[in-house]
């Protein structure tokens, strides 16, 4: 939390609106010629009555440092490994982990800065939350909110800028070819420095489908008071499961401007984008690309496009209301479990931690657990959904060469010690560069025994070990590595 707070009793967002109105009024009579600094306004705002904070980051820290590695992972390059080129949108920038593109500013903001080098090449920044389980609780509401100033550039100098604050369905991780069925919520998008915010839903199939892909179901409006580019504004998305039909809503500075309910897209598309483990949140500034086809034109840099105008993010927060504070699955939904400290499987813990996998000792342990880390959930009940096991493990071998991690997932349907289903997946060879990589179910099954079925007070067990290599590895746990079982 920030150590310095505004001393005014007014809410930070109210102060921002007052400040913007004052500047506009003074500018109208020629008093103001330079915009006051657009700085952070304090901590994440306290939730209104009935809401519970589930996760947040207010980007407090020394200037020119990267955002919290416990909260965020940094995307780099021109695509996910094995995913669509140019992030699937035709973007031209190279995302980096360089603080010149991505860093805290020392004043309580995250700064994402596109830069063009002397050869005309663009770099920028993109991050996504480590957690991928943000989901409305059954019978309740999820809210994702951020206070953001778009890159402060307009006109021809802004052509090509595409800032965004958005969320993607968890099954996208490790697959990268199941969009848009897994769902995408664009909480704030902008293009070419236009004084508008767009809120867009992507779902169903591409092209066409119930969400009119690739354009999506979108709406836009001008930012209230000061322009989107000249001041901070608060962008909020809500997923409401307390009403029938369920509904999604988009707000800017508390003003509703877009809503979509499940009847509009149909039961199948709605189920596909809401019945999985949840969503992860992204922040980025792209350069170039197809800002949804037919909407405001593409983002295309030109010779006049200026380099170095950052998007500033004061905070990102996730709240829930009603339905309990844990966004659990509906009956029939798959069950999401996190690998947790103490060798348990369950809801995400508040903070990230790690466990160490013992070295394979230079012996091939492929298919046979060797000194594994074991995680267990007991008392699991539910019917088999007809789906398959999914997982996303955060693994790292540091600079060790040729290490490979492996996972076995086992199901004891009644908790009597007999394992009716066991699945061993092909191991994942980590690179010798420090930093987490994603080991997912898309590596494929190496072997499986038995069948799935209804569980009654059953047990799910995860074993993770080093299958090859001569050094230890680490696995991120707490609010990081996740398992989704086809029991609901």
Is 309 domain-assigned? yes
Domain boundary among the residues 260, 287, 321 is at: 321
Within this chain, do residues 232 and 360 fall inside the same structural domain, yes or no? no
- The C-alpha atoms of residue 106 and residue 77 are separated, in whole angstroms, by 26
State what percent of residues in the chain have pLDDT above 90. Answer: 74
Is 463 domain-assigned? yes
Q: Is the pLDDT of residue 140 over 90?
A: yes
Confidence of residue 47 (pLDDT cuts 50, 70, 90): confident
Is 365 domain-assigned? yes
| pLDDT in the model for residue 9 | 30
Domain boundary among the residues 287, 321, 355 is at: 321
Within this chain, do residues 28 and 165 fall inside the same structural domain, yes or no? yes
Is 143 domain-assigned? yes
Within this chain, do residues 309 and 346 fall inside the same structural domain, yes or no? no
Within this chain, do residues 347 and 231 fall inside the same structural domain, yes or no? no
Residue pLDDT, tens place only, 253-289: 999 999 999 999 999 999 999 988 899 999 999 999 8
CATH number reported for the structural domain that contains residue 438 in this entry = 2.60.120
| pLDDT in the model for residue 104 | 97
Is 445 domain-assigned? yes
Is 3 domain-assigned? no
Q: Is the pLDDT of residue 40 over 80?
A: no
* Beta-carbon-side half-sphere exposure of residue 222 (alpha carbons within 13 Å): 6
Q: What is the mean pLDDT of residues 29-48?
A: 54
Q: What is the mean pLDDT of residues 349-374?
A: 92
Q: Which residue did the predictor score with more confidence, 293 or 194?
A: 194
Q: By mean pLDDT, which of 109-113, 118-122, 153-157, 383-387 is the weakest? A: 383-387
Question: Cβ neighbours of residue 185 under 8 Å, at least 6 residues apart?
Answer: 144, 166, 167, 201, 237, 239, 248, 279
Averaged pLDDT of the chain: 87
Q: What is the mean pLDDT of residues 15-39?
A: 36
Within this chain, do residues 117 and 219 fall inside the same structural domain, yes or no? yes
Within this chain, do residues 351 and 455 fall inside the same structural domain, yes or no? yes
SS3 string, the chain, reads CCCCCCCCCCCHHHHHHHHHHHHHHHHHCCCCCCCCCCCCCCCCCCCCCCEEEEEEECCCCCCCCCCCCCCEEECCECCCCCCCHHHHCCCCCEECCCCCCEEECCCCCEEECCEECCCCCEEECEEEECCCCECCCCCCEEEEEEEEECCCCCHHHHCCEEEEEEEEEHHHCCCCCCCCCCCEEEEEECCCCCCCEEEEEECCCCCECCCCECCCEEEEECCCCCCCCCCCEEEEEEEECCCCCCEEEEEECCEEEEEEEHHHHCHHHHHHHHCCCCEEEEEEEEECECCCCCCCCCECCCCCCCCCCCEEEEEEEEEEECCCCCCCCCCCCCEEEEEECCCEEECCCCCCEEEEECCCCCCCCCCCCCCCEEEEEEEEEECECCCCCEEEEEEECCCCCCCEEEEEEEEECCCCCCCCEEEEECCEECCCCCCCEEEEHHHCEEEEEECCCCEEEEEEEEEEEEEECCCCEEEEECCCCEEEECEC
Q: How many domains does the chain have?
A: 2
| pLDDT in the model for residue 433 | 86
Is 7 domain-assigned? no
Q: Is the pLDDT of residue 31 over 60?
A: no
Within this chain, do residues 307 and 343 fall inside the same structural domain, yes or no? no
Within this chain, do residues 432 and 471 fall inside the same structural domain, yes or no? yes
Within this chain, do residues 151 and 173 fall inside the same structural domain, yes or no? yes
| pLDDT in the model for residue 326 | 42
Residue pLDDT, tens place only, 420-462: 999 999 999 999 988 888 898 888 999 999 999 999 999 999 9
pTM comes to 0.66
Within this chain, do residues 292 and 381 fall inside the same structural domain, yes or no? no
Residue 131, token pair as written in the block? 């957690």
Nearest Cα residue to 110 out of 278, 225, 282: 282
Q: What is the mean pLDDT of residues 393-410?
A: 94
| pLDDT in the model for residue 246 | 96
Residue pLDDT, tens place only, 76-125: 999 998 899 999 999 999 999 999 999 999 999 999 999 999 999 999 99
Is 6 domain-assigned? no
Within this chain, do residues 295 and 352 fall inside the same structural domain, yes or no? no
State what percent of residues in the chain have pLDDT above 70. Answer: 88
Question: Domain range holding 315?
Answer: 12-321
CATH number reported for the structural domain that contains residue 307 in this entry = 2.60.120.200
Q: Is the pLDDT of residue 151 over 90?
A: yes
Within this chain, do residues 273 and 386 fall inside the same structural domain, yes or no? no
Domain boundary among the residues 276, 294, 321 is at: 321
């Amino acid at each position: 939390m920030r150590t310095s707070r505004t001393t005014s009793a007014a809410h930070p967002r109210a102060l921002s609106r007052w400040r913007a109105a004052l500047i506009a009024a003074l500018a109208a009579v020629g008093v103001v010629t330079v915009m006051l600094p657009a700085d952070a306004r304090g901590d994440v705002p306290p939730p209104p009555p009935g809401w519970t904070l589930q996760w947040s980051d207010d980007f407090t820290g020394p200037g020119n440092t990267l955002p919290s590695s416990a909260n965020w992972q940094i995307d780099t390059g021109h695509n996910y490994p094995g995913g669509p080129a140019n992030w699937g949108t035709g973007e031209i920038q190279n995302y980096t982990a360089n603080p010149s593109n991505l860093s805290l500013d020392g004043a309580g903001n995250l700064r994402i800065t596109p830069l063009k080098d002397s050869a005309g090449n663009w770099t920028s920044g993109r991050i996504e939350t480590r957690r991928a389980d943000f989901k409305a609780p059954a019978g309740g509401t999820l809210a994702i909110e951020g206070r953001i100033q778009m890159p402060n550039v307009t006109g021809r100098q802004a052509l090509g800028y595409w800032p965004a604050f958005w969320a993607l369905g968890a099954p996208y991780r490790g697959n990268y070819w199941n969009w848009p069925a897994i769902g995408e919520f664009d909480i704030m998008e902008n293009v070419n420095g236009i004084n508008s915010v767009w809120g867009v839903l992507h779902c169903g199939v591409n092209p066409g489908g119930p969400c009119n892909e690739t354009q999506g179901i979108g709406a836009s409006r001008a930012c209230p008071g000061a322009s989107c580019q000249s001041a901070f504004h608060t962008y909020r998305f809500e997923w409401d499961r307390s009403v029938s039909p369920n509904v999604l809503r988009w707000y800017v500075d508390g003003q509703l401007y877009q809503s979509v309910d499940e009847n509009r897209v149909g039961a199948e598309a709605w189920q596909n984008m809401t019945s999985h483990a949840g969503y992860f949140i992204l922040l980025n500034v792209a350069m170039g690309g197809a800002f949804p086809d037919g909407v405001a034109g593409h983002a295309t840099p030109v010779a006049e496009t200026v380099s170095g105008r950052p998007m500033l993010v004061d905070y990102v927060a996730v709240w829930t209301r009603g339905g309990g504070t844990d966004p659990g699955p509906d009956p029939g939904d798959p069950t999401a479990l996190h690998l947790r400290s103490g060798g348990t499987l369950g809801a995400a813990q508040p903070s990230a931690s790690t466990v160490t996998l013992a070295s394979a000792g230079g012996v091939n342990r492929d298919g046979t657990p060797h000194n594994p880390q074991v995680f267990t959930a007991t008392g699991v009940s539910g019917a088999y959904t007809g789906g398959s096991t999914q997982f996303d493990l955060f693994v790292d071998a540091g600079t060790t060469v040729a290490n490979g991690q492996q996972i076995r997932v086992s199901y004891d349907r009644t908790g009597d010690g007999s394992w009716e289903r066991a699945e061993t997946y092909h191991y994942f060879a980590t690179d010798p560069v420090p930093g987490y990589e994603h080991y997912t179910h898309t590596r494929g099954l190496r072997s499986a025994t038995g069948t799935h079925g209804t569980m009654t007070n059953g047990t799910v067990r995860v074993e993770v070990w080093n299958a090859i290599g001569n050094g230890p590895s680490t696995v991120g746990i707490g609010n990081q590595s996740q398992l989704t079982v086809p029991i609901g």
